[in-house]
A and B are shown apart, each in its own frame.
Chain A
Amino acid sequence: FLGAGGGNDIQWCFSQVKGAVDDDVAEADIISTVEFNHSGELLATGDKGGRVVIFQQEQENKTQSHSRGEYNVYSTFQSHEPEFDYLKSLEIEEKINKIRWLPQKNAAQFLLSTNDKTIKLWKISERDKRPEGYNLKEEDGRYRDPTTVTTLRVPVFRPMDLMVEASPRRIFANAHTYHINSISINSDYETYLSADDLRINLWHLEITDRSFNIVDIKPANMEELTEVITAAEFHPNSCNTFVYSSSKGTIRLCDMRASALCDRHSKLFEEPEDPSNRSFFSEIISSISDVKFSHSGRYMMTRDYLSVKIWDLNMENRPVETYQVHEYLRSKLCSLYENDCIFDKFECCWNGSDRQNFLLPPLCSIVMTGSYNNFFRMFDRNTKRDITLEASRENNKPRTVLKPRKVCASGKRKKDEISVDSLDFNKKILHTAWHPKENIIAVATTNNLYIFQDKMN
């Protein structure tokens, strides 16, 4: 049961950190996506080297009631390999852009992972017994001489050490000319969408040789291109509805029942520009890097460079709430443009769902997103309080509550505050995930995965 709102703020404690300790980061180890499965028992990460690592939560230890189960490595596999497009003389990166879990239907787990061009459906299954006692084969697999077989026996299953196998069940390729930035599984659990810079395709999970194009914003003349698709997601309950965000800060909601090609949106969400804040960087910082529906489907959250916005699907002309992530960067935009940090794509996430009844507001509604210097931010929508925490190995003691951090924007720096000029812009937290049912969060720094949980009383 998530902490009740209005007074009981969650106290976050360090739980675990995964990944190499050295400061020298191997490029392939850079984490590029993090995702809990639907039960929260499994936590998947994808990296720049095309690998997927899945962690599994231990069953709760009855004697250690003060902490929830730890996450340990469950399976590691190479999802994507680098490819070379000989015609264009271009390399296709193996970096995993997104992982999305399917809901569990049987003993095996399924997830979709994608790089820039190809989506793959992986089956992760356990094997904890094997057949023994074959008639024609020895235990080591060599075939027996048939003339030596004098009796017949029935092979039996005997237990073995648990083995977790990942196998690619479907490969959805050759449907994207541009780089895939999003995949989203429909609430019908049969179809999913994949979005690249200019197009969105609809797939059936069973069919790999064709997909339907449902959005195409490529102009007839590429010289007229001024806007790209940055993220897309299906509505959590309504299987005909999806949204996609753009580099101009707009979100379009589309209904697939309206027409085959959803180029005309049903709703357009856009906040009018604040003229007092206008600069040459206005458009760049308005570009939306992530969009996520709330669990109820009534709201959606968008992340742009400096803020997180909550939108009510019934109101298109402005967000209902805006939270500033790192407003102190507004005066530094030119430098951030120079060093390319202004193009960093931060993700955002909602806290886990705590109720089935979507008509009532949730008791606890918190959104989380990352920032620089390995800081990450949480905004409590009910109490309107926010907190900045840091993912670092210095806060290593389990069950010690993390100290809130504060950035000093200007003027005198107080003790324990950090000034903007001291922030490390190479330490960025782009990917975070929240356990679907408990107060456990996974926060990815460049090459480490931190797991924090709330202090249980």
Chain B
Amino acid sequence: MFVRGLKRKCFDGEEDIEGTLAGIKAIPSYNLQRQSLLDMSLVKLQLCHMLVEPNLCRSVLIANTVRQIQEEMTQDGTWQMINTQSTGQASLDRLVSTDILCRSSREQAEGKHVPGYSTFNKDFESDQVQDSSETMSTGSSVQAPRNLQSNVWEMENPQENKGNFQKSLDQIFETLETKSPNSVEDLFSEVDNSYYDLDTMLTGMMSNTKMGHCDGLETFSSPTNTTSNSNCKSDLNELDHIVEILVES
């Protein structure tokens, strides 16, 4: 049950004396442990976001844990620090590993649930006409950590990142096509909000989380590769544009 050695991520105490001596070298720093817990929690939220019927209690508890960590990290100033480290290798690895976890679970859920679709629906439901850029930021902020992380990833592999965007777009279109055009209004007239409520709750939490990541990563990524950033931006613009078209129709 317990992983020994240098890669141990958890806080679990080691009671055995012999273990402690060896463990002193192996027990990671509090900051590293805390970061691992944050990553683990974010993965859990992503996964439960994709489950067919998410357990609200579990999601709320995990979200509260993430908020707690984030608050503590903001208080000791490590929130910004981690993302602007010049020796970005360690943080990059962490982000990358979370991204891999996210990506593989996303691929698993491809057949079942379309995250892009659910955030898109939420935009439809709101009474006021929202500024499309505002829509983009709140609507897709649940996806933002993934996208931002794939920004980082993209520096290594721009093709794949574009592929991910394309995939999300394809999923949106596919799902829309299966519904008949006339039923779009009926579709949204009596929507039971519970599932989207979960979305909203996660969005709210994620947008707070996003702030730290976003700022940090932008300063981190800008000096290195402007072309890959503009690729990301053009993808975002493309998505923006498509959403505009769909909203108008």
Query: Using a CB–CB distance below 8 Å, which chain A residues touch chain B?
Result: 85, 87-93, 116, 177-179, 197-198, 218, 221-228, 230, 247, 279-281, 283-284, 287, 331-335, 337-338, 340, 343, 409-411, 421, 425
Contacts and interface: CB of A to CB of B under 8 A. Distances in A.
A221 B204 contact: yes
Q: Closest 7 interchain pairs by CB?
A: A223-B204, A334-B10, A410-B15, A222-B200, A222-B197, A331-B13, A177-B194
A249 B15 CA distance: 29
A228 B11 CA distance: 27
A335 to B, nearest CB: 6
Contacts of B37: 280, 334, 337
Contacts of B192: 85, 87-88, 177
A197 B57 contact: yes
Contacts of B61: 247, 283-284, 287, 343
A359 to B, nearest CB: 38
Contact of B203 (A177, A223, A228): A223
5 contacts: A87-B192, A223-B201, A247-B57, A337-B40, A343-B55
Contacts of A284: 61, 65
Contact of B204 (A198, A224, A331): A224
Nearest to B14: A331
Given A280-B65, A280-B68, A284-B61, A332 B12 contact: yes
Contacts of B69: 280
B22 interface: no
Interface of B: 1-2, 10-13, 15-16, 34, 37, 40, 44, 52-53, 55-58, 60-61, 63-65, 68-69, 112-113, 187, 191-195, 197-198, 200-201, 203-205
Given A116-B53, A225-B201, A177 B193 contact: yes
Contacts of B15: 331, 409-411
A228 B60 contact: yes
A249 to B, nearest CB: 11
A378 to B, nearest CB: 27
Nearest to A285: B61
A168 B188 CA distance: 33
A343 to B, nearest CB: 5
